[in-house]
Amino acid sequence: MRGVSITQTLEPIVSTSGICDWGNLKASLQEQIAKTSASDKTFPIIAYPNTVTELSQVMNQCYGNGWRVIPCGKGSKLGWGGVGQEVDLIISTDRLNRIIDHAVGDLTVTAEAGVKFSDLQKLLSQTGQFLPLEPAYPEEATLGGIIATANSGSWRQRYGGVRDLLLGISFVRSDGEIAKAGGRVVKNVAGYDLMKLFTGSYGSLGILTEVTFRVYPLLEAGSTVVLTGEANAVASTSKTLLASALTPTAVDILSTRLVKTLGIGKGMGLMIRFQSVTEAVKEQSSRILAVGQQLGLTGTLYTDAEELNLWQSLPKHIWEPLSTTAITCKIGVLPTAAANTLVKLDQLTDSTGLGLIHAG
């Protein structure tokens, strides 16, 4: 009866088309939603507000009736984070999917939280710009979900993480009130930094509705150096690299099994990406290749389509494991402990255990 009551309450706000019963959801979304609760109870209803005003009214009803809510975008990362008890309603930002403003000259973009990351990148590329994030499931990930899970990727070495790129947010509080923090300009220092608080909050502080990001120009050229070999040599090369004047855009350390899975060598791996003008890329790639080889590592240079394929396949092995019983998790480690952490991971897991550490 409670599900009927929720439907009757929300239909005047979001219309019949804005309410979806559990049985009509895609199986993939059902699977993701089920991961959010320790209860065996199914989730009978998902609401799709079309505007921020509708979302505000829905949340106000949830607040007044004491309904327990989980927000989502496309649902690609609903299985991340803590597990709750029974949930009364799922609220999706899927229909809050409008680009609000792209200030090309100011290098900023403002969009609703339900905009897909892949769609935003396509728009930015038309003006030679991009948002330097590499989230899991990029074709499905929404901007709100990326912020909620603090899902940055390999580019954090050069550009920082999600919170470093985020300039402003608007959100709906648990009581339905609309609030905002930050702004649409790069130099905005007024008020408490709620953007950092919301980054990685997993939807616990409110539902994001609008976000403003700092964006960057696409770079002229790029190449990736892959060094493989003994863990101690990888650790030494990484330390030398990060203390040098070289400016890689990405530095990843790969476990022995991940190197083998990718077919890029033997032993632990170090992937270093350089993106800049052509001459700078060539010079920096040559220098780090020489450093690695001096320490006994095997070096390979990847360019053009081969390089792009390498970076596209790397995260898929982490976020889309072949085993249905795989446990995927994120941890934070000190740079000095990175190589040793991957060694211990290999010791503690079976042949399917893969490890990847982003610098930055």
41 and 158 both lie in a single domain: no
Confidence of residue 1 (pLDDT cuts 50, 70, 90): very low
48 and 72 both lie in a single domain: yes
Of the candidates 46, 74, 92, which is a domain's last residue? 92
Specify the range with the lowest mean pLDDT, choosing from 53-62, 206-215, 237-246, 317-326: 317-326
Distance CA 71, CA 61 (A): 15
**Which comes out higher in pLDDT, residue 121 or 197?**
121
How many domains does one find in the chain? 3
| Tens-digit pLDDT profile for residues 106-132 | 999 999 999 999 999 999 999 999 999
281 and 244 both lie in a single domain: yes
Confidence check: pLDDT of 221 > 50: yes
250 and 347 both lie in a single domain: yes
At 9 the three-state DSSP class reads: helix
Confidence of residue 349 (pLDDT cuts 50, 70, 90): confident
Mean pLDDT of 344-352: 85
237 and 339 both lie in a single domain: yes
Tell whether pTM > 0.85: yes
Boundaries of domain holding 121:
99-217
Give the pairing type, strands 250-254 and 356-358: antiparallel
Give the pairing type, strands 108-112 and 69-72: unpaired
Confidence of residue 219 (pLDDT cuts 50, 70, 90): very high
Distance CA 32, CA 76 (A): 7
12 and 106 both lie in a single domain: no
Q: Which CATH number covers residue 129?
A: 3.30.465.10
164 and 274 both lie in a single domain: no
Round the average pLDDT of the chain to a whole number and report it: 91
50 and 64 both lie in a single domain: yes
112 and 84 both lie in a single domain: no
Structure tokens at 144: 């709100």
Confidence check: pLDDT of 135 > 50: yes
Nearest CA to 315 out of 267, 358, 264 is that of: 358
119 and 199 both lie in a single domain: yes
Q: Which CATH number covers residue 299?
A: 3.30.70.2190
253 and 326 both lie in a single domain: yes
| Tens-digit pLDDT profile for residues 158-187 | 999 999 999 999 999 999 999 998 876 555
Of the candidates 60, 92, 124, which is a domain's last residue? 92
Q: Which CATH number covers residue 78?
A: 3.30.43.10
Distance CA 93, CA 59 (A): 12
Mean pLDDT of 52-71: 95
Of the candidates 217, 242, 274, which is a domain's last residue? 217
230 and 350 both lie in a single domain: yes
Report percent pLDDT > 90 for the chain.
71
pLDDT at 118: 97
DSSP string, 125-168: HTTTEE-----SSTTT-BHHHHHHHT---TTHHHH--HHHHEEE
Mean pLDDT of 187-214: 84
Confidence check: pLDDT of 3 > 60: no
| Tens-digit pLDDT profile for residues 265-279 | 999 999 999 999 999
